[in-house]
Structure 1
Amino acid sequence: MNRSWYSASIEVFQHASDEQVIGELVLNSTFADLPTQKIAWIKEISILRKALQGHDGWLHLEFNIPRMGRRIDAVLLIKGIVIAIEFKIDANQYLMTDIDQSYDYALDLKYFHEASHNAIVIPVLLATKAQANPALLFKHPRILGLYEPVRTNEAEFASTLKAIIHQIPETTLDPKLWADAAYRPTPTIIEAARALYAGHGVAEISRNDAGAINLTKTSEQLFRIIDQAREKKEKVICFVTGVPGAGKTLVGLNIATRYSDEQSELYSVFLSGNKPLVDILREALARDTILREKLNHGKKLKKSEAQTRVKAFIQNVHHFRDDCQKNDGQAPVEHVALFDEAQRAWNKEQTSFFMKQKKGVPDFEISEPEYLISCMDRRDDWAVIVCLVGGGQEINTGEAGISAWIEAVREKYPDWHLFISSALTDSEYESGEVLASIQTRKNVHFHNELHLATSMRSFRAESVSRFVKTVLDCEVEEAKALYQQLQERYPIVLTRNLDCAKEWLKAQARGSERYGMVVSSQAQRLKPYAIDVRSPMNHIKWFLDGKEDVRSSYYLEEVATEFHVQGLELDWACVSWDGDFRYGNKGWEHYSFRGNKWQQIKSESRKQYQKNAYRVLLTRARQGMVIFVPEGSGDDPTRSSRFYDSTYKYLKALGVEEIG
């Protein structure tokens, strides 16, 4: 695949006519044939021709960044230096959003383009009519080989280019090898959804190196199962497991996008009971649809129309359930239903209570898994259910766990075929007993390919989820060893000063890398730090909006709980730790704040939910995190220092670096 729409040596470019260059760009373009785009290209080509006189090297125009669904305007390879240029034609100032954009592209190359890992990468923002930048100051880069964005204008670009080449030492870089090098991104789930919805395949937007589980293998295994079910007219339920951040949701979205045509016999729907995830993905896809419609076809699409398109693709599982209940006996239009976080489906008691209290259905006496299977069983030809399952991810009362799905098949739907991840027998999935009762059946099949063992959330260190597990399970020696392995590539630090934690986040993040504060929903006594978990926050604004919006995560004023962030991620996170989950003489102790005091939690299931909540919080960051544990107060018995000191000492004893 050609990664850029135009590529040539600088010498060839200089001898080519504008018509030749524009023709090649148009030929490879996925945009509509818009006059405005051609005008911009002509101006960019003219600027580049003047600045590149006397230089040898290679030029790429419209270089593809599939993870972001965007393209770099120009990439120059001169004397071994990779110069990524973002043009802002007719712009008269250097906007912070444009500076971040230019840095984002350079970050993407540095992190995910194999041939750029060890190269010098310099982002350049060229705002044609902005004021001249009198001096080029190359600060020592925080990320080795990646410099801060250089700002320049049309008049100064040639001298800026000369200054870069003069000040940066020459290295060897083969242009062909650079162009052909593997691009192995690790997108956030929001970026992945955008790319998949725009037509990219999972192989384009995910890593495929030997050190990471190949998501394509799991997808292909599911495609084979779906095709077999269609051919043999069978009904099938699959269980895909994975560690936090392994890409389970990505696998589901990949199938849903491939089979998104409502007229297709393989029509699929992606379902999730995670309302914030559904809301955020829908909004992100709607915004992206509007942008792509404008870029690709020159049309201004109404947001309501974009939202309508997206709603059919990603649905709330409870709305799907309600539609099936309303159309009792009628088969769904979909043949394939993908249930994200299937372990969080409601048990019989919770489902019955909700249907009676909220829907006026007094005799609804089955669990949500059993009912959802019954809905797909209405099809008289074939059906496939794919359950995407996370271990240790149940965080709320009434969540049935994966056993409820298997029990429903065993007791009510014995003709359904089961394709089960080999890892489902692990203790964290709590389904070993029910699996033992069915594993001798002929229609039960176990597959290694249905388990995603490596976290893809952190592209810097894949053992973060394992480290968090050892911390929560009080496996001290292993936690110490894992921390030492992590620290070089994935910084985890500890502080008792919230202002210090915030400054650390801001200092780490580059470009538009997203950072924010996360906190347990039971953290009731962080109010003195302006952390109020009861204050409503707009999760869409928090996750999607930019640094200029006070409701965004960047402002560090609104906090997200485990219910807001499960299934999503940040680049950098501050985990604020309250007295609800504290380290004691015999391990972790569990508390809930009621009235004006902490009360110890006795229920084993509630203890597990609370432990899982902290598991979710501690596995949200892709690049690093700071843990804030307050000092407490001698004047406030609800914030006694003894509620916090032991937790802080435990984390510090694991070797976690202290700051501030």
Structure 2
Amino acid sequence: MQSSYYSAPIPQFLGSVDDAILGELTRRHHHALEHEQRGAWLSQIAILKAQLDVNSAGHLFLEFSIPRMGKRADAVVIRNGIIFVIEFKVGSESFDRHAIDQVEDYALDLKNFHLGSHDVPILPVLVATRAKRSPSEPLWAADMVAEPVLIGPEGLAPALAALAPTEASAEAIDPIAWQSSGYRPTPTIVEAAEALYRSHAVEEISRSDADAKNLQATSDRIAEVIEASKHGGRKSICFITGVPGAGKTLAGLNIAAKRAERHEDEHAVFLSGNGPLVEVLREALARDQVVRDGIRKGDALRAVRRFVQNIHHFRDHYLANTEVPFEKVVVFDEAQRAWTSNQAARFMQGRGHDGFDISEPEFLIGVMDRHTDWCTIVCLIGGGQEINTGEAGLVEWLTALQSKFPDWDVHASSLLEDKHYTVDQKAAEMLQAPAIQKHPDFHLSVSMRSFRAERLSSFVSIVLDGDAVGARDQLEELEDRYPILLTRDLTEARTWLRGKARGAERIGLVASSGGCRLRPEGIHVKAKIDPANWFLNDRFDVRSSYHLEEVATQFDIQGLELDWAGVCWDADLRRVDSAWSYNAFKGTRWQQVRDETKQLYLLNAYRVLLTRARQGMVIFVPRGGPADATRPPSFYDETFAFLQECGLPTVA
């Protein structure tokens, strides 16, 4: 993706004829140029020429790429040691909230992901071309990103005369070095899906620095396996592993999107048993396509449903018949969460299939095995992700392959036998089979969920291991970049979250599905959210996460992300005598959970909740109620004290 359509020193821009500038913009546009866009460019050129000083040093970029968002800023001006990000609202007299958030998001995106922008002041400017408004003095945040300046066209010249917030940040910026400094985005899964669905390359929206595993390398290796299977008439299965937030789902979406785009005959599809993730992705992709292409919502949804499907709907379709699948390449997200034979049988019996007695992995492989020539299955395996009764883990996939489908080619991550991905000893032994081909590129080792907290998942694991000393040591590598605070007051938590979010950064409350005694605090975990509205709607919609009224559980939020999260910690997981106590609320009282598998699910529920925030979180631990036997202070105080021992400060 070209970083900008037009780039020139300000004096050169001012000395160029409008048609030449327009021609350069048009030549790089690569799409049919609409009359409205041409008119907007001419208006912007006229305003910039009227407001820029020919004697001023500086540089101008037009249509500057913001890859993570899949968009372009109208203009970027470099002068006085400041990056000015300018958006024009041609024909507008007012400044709507969406436009203000948009220009601020562009500025924050550059600050966080563009290497040349990390340490320089950035001032977002919104120009409503019919407004009469002069600029106010910029209000600079600690990270040197100012609040958006809102002006009419005549206010642009004084806005661009702003000075850097400190003398130390006023050094001249080399515009060419700045432009080419590199971009290391970490998009949310929704942003990534939208970009891939628009046919952007994965390297445009993902980190590619030396410390991060290159998603492109994983995608390329999978493509090699698919091509070998296709040309050799083989059936193959691939197992990709990755730490939480490392980009497994992004890798899977990329594989499905690129195969669907370049090999239409394969009908590649992304399948997930995570209902909220599927719902949110479908809705986001459909809404985006409606805006981009102007098509009807129903038409957009039909197209999206061919690309992203619920794995259970896929299963049910092929359970009802013996037809050969339409799809040749299928990507199964969170494959370790497929059901065991007992869980699948119980579910199927309730649906009238009394004779169903095989695991979900065996059935799904069997469906794809109906092909007489070739096919490829890609399984994405996460560590510490099992949160539901009856989830099979890896062993059911390996057992099915060994006993029922021995002719399949098996390709696996070289870390698949690690304890974080294979807790079953039988599965670990099966992975030693010489026929299983191991690939280092099939493991994604660095978390990309938070651009500030690559070490967050490690910190959370140490906390859940009960190691306060180790957690405190790990926190030292986090606290300057990723704030984690404690509070006993939910109002205080909400205030902190609202104060942290800028632009369209998303905030929300999350809690364990077993946190039933958060209800006196106004947190109702049994009240189901609408995931699409909660994750996608704006701050003006009371159903959205922004309002901090509805709470998402681990089942709602697994695989999805917030920028800032409020984690509400109940007594289902509590510290008692310096160890974790596992509890479930039944009827009118808590009961201790003794089953080791269910204890693991509860730990993993909190693991999911504590790794959802990209930028920081506040943990709310209630004080309890002395007169309420279901939530006495003793159920919460030791947990709070332990988290303090882990080094977490309280909200100031």
TM-score in terms of structure 1 length: 0.96
Distance apart, 1:352 and its partner CA: 1.2
Task: Give the secondary structure class of the aligned counterpart of 2:62.
Answer: strand
Over the matched positions of the two proteins, sequence identity in percent amounts to: 48
- Offset, 1:431: 4.6
* Cα drift, residue 261 of structure 1: 4.5
Question: Any residues of structure 2 matched to 1:573-612 within 5 Å, and which?
Answer: 573-612=565-604
2:498 aligns with 506
Aligned position for 1:321: 315
Query: Aligned residue for 2:264?
Result: 264
Q: Which residue of 1 aligns with 2:545?
A: 553
1:336 matched to 2:329? yes
State which drifts further: 88-97 or 646-655: 88-97
Q: 2:347 aligns with which of 348, 351, 354?
A: 354
Change in Cα spacing, 1:30 to 1:524, as seen in structure 2 (3 Å) is: farther
Name the residue aligned to 2:305. Answer: 311
8 Å contact from structure 1 (residues 112, 183) kept in 2: yes
Write out per-residue CA displacement over residues 358-396 of structure 1, whole angstroms, 9 at most, x where no aligned residue.
2x1110111100000000111111111111011110111
> Which range moved further: 501-510 or 437-446?
437-446
Query: How big is each residue's C-alpha offset from its partner over 1:513-564, in whole Å with a ceiling of 9 and x where there is no partner?
Result: 1110000001101112211011121111110010100000000001100000
Matched letter for residue 273 of structure 1: G
Q: Which one is further off, 225-234 or 190-199?
A: 225-234
Counterpart Cα distance in 1 of 2:423 and 2:166: 61
1:410 deviation in Å? 0.9
Question: Does the 8 A contact of 2:218 with 2:441 survive in 1?
Answer: yes
Q: Distance in 2 between matches of 1:194 and 1:631?
A: 42
Deviation at 1:194, TM superposition (A): 0.4
Over aligned residue pairs, what C-alpha RMSD do you find?
1.6
Consecutive unaligned residues of structure 1, counting only runs of 5 or more, are 294-299
Q: CA deviation at 1:436?
A: 4.4
Residue 79 and residue 384 in structure 1: after superposition, are their counterparts in 2 closer, same or farther (change >3 A)? same
SS at match of 2:130: coil
For residue 197 of structure 2, what is the aligned residue in structure 1?
197
Contact 1:426 1:432 in 2 (8 A): no
Alignment deviations for residues 219-273 of structure 1 (CA, whole Å, 9 cap, x no partner): 1111111111112211111111111100000000001111115963443110000
Counterpart in 2 of 1:403?
Answer: 395
Distance 1:9 1:349, change over 3 A: same
Q: CA deviation at 1:432?
A: 5.2
Residues 456-467 of structure 1 mapped to structure 2, 5 A cutoff? 456-467=448-459
- 2:184–2:208 contact (8 Å) kept in structure 1: yes
Q: What is the CA-CA distance between 1:166 and the residue it aligns to?
A: 11
The answer for the alignment partner of 1:95 in structure 2 is 96
Conservation of the 8 A alpha-carbon contact between 2:518 and 2:570: yes
Counterpart of 1:336 in structure 2: which amino acid? Answer: V
Answer with 428-437 or 516-525: which moved more: 428-437
The worse-fitting range, judged by mean Cα deviation, of 507-516 and 262-271 is 262-271
Q: What is the SS of the residue equivalent to 1:204? A: helix
Q: Which range moves more in the overlay, 636-645 or 583-592?
A: 583-592
8 Å CA contact 1:136–1:163 kept in 2: the answer is no
Aligned equivalents of 2:166, 2:75: Cα separation in 1: 21
Contact 1:407 1:434 in 2 (8 A): no
Match of 2:117 in 1: 116
Q: Which amino acid aligns with 1:348?
A: S
1:652 and 2:644 matched:
yes
Q: Which runs of 5+ in 2 are unaligned?
A: none
Name the residue aligned to 2:442. Answer: 450
1:566 is aligned to 2:565: no
Structure 2 counterpart of 1:142, one-letter code: A
Q: Indicate yes or no: 2:143 matched with 1:151.
A: no
1:62 alignment partner in structure 2: 63
Stretch moving more, 95-104 or 200-209: 95-104
State the alpha-carbon separation in 1 of the partners of residues 530 and 434 from structure 2: 49
Give the whole-Å Cα distance in 2 for the aligned partners of 1:526 and 1:567: 24
The CA distance in 2 between the partners of 1:383 and 1:526, in whole Å, is 48
Aligned mates of 1:621, 1:263 — CA distance in 2: 36
Task: State how far apart, in whole Å, the 1-side matches of 2:629 and 2:432 are.
Answer: 57
Give the CA deviation at 1:429.
Answer: 2.1
Q: Which 10-residue stretch deviates more, 24-33 or 370-379?
A: 24-33
Mean Cα deviation higher: 414-423 or 166-175? 166-175
Q: Deviations over 1:440-482 (max 9, x none)?
A: 5442111221111111001112010000001111123221110
Given that 2:121 and 2:165 are in contact with CA atoms closer than 8 Å, whether structure 1 keeps it comes out as no
Deviations 1:591-633, CA, capped at 9 Å, x for gaps: 1111111111122211111111000000000111100000001
1:507, distance to aligned residue in structure 2 (A): 1.3
Q: What are the Cα deviations for residues 266-301 of structure 1, in whole angstroms up to 9, with x where unaligned?
A: 4311000000000000000001111111xxxxxx31
CA contact (8 A) 1:395 1:610 kept: yes
Please give the alpha-carbon distance, in whole angstroms, between the structure 1 residues aligned to 2:423 and 2:268.
27
1:170: Cα distance to partner? Answer: 3.7
1:195-229 per-residue CA deviation (whole Å, 9 max, x = no partner) reads 11101111110111112121111111111111111
Q: Cα distance, 1:349 vs. partner?
A: 1.2
2-structure distance, mates of 1:147, 1:264: 46
Q: Decide whether the 8 Å contact of 1:236 with 1:419 is kept in 2.
A: yes
In 2, the alpha carbon distance for the partners of 1:80 and 1:546 equals 34
Instruction: Give distance in 1, aligned partners of 2:91 and 2:123.
Output: 22
Contact kept, 8 Å, 2:80 with 2:163, in 1: the verdict is: no
SS at match of 2:126: strand
* 2:411 is aligned with 1:419: yes
Deviation at 1:141, TM superposition (A): 1.4
Q: 1:506 to 1:142 in 2, by over 3 A?
A: farther
Deviation at 1:109, TM superposition (A): 0.7
How far the C-alpha of 1:10 sits from its partner, in A, is 1.2
The one-letter amino acid of 1:494's match is L
Q: So what's the TM-score if we normalise by structure 2?
A: 0.97
| Partner residue, 1:297 | none
Name which of 376, 380, 384 aligns with 2:372.
Answer: 380
Distance 1:21-1:478 versus aligned 2 partners, 3 A rule = same
Partners of 2:628 and 2:452 lie apart in 1 by 41
Letter in 1 for 2:308: I
Aligned to 1:82: 83
- Paired letter, 2:90: I
Other-structure match for 2:223:
223
Partner Cα distance (2:310, 2:57) in 1: 55
Among 487, 493, 518, the residue aligned to 1:495 = 487
- 1:236 is the counterpart of 2:229: no
Which residue does the alignment assign to 1:9?
A: 9
Q: State the number of aligned residues.
A: 650
Q: Which amino acid aligns with 2:86?
A: I
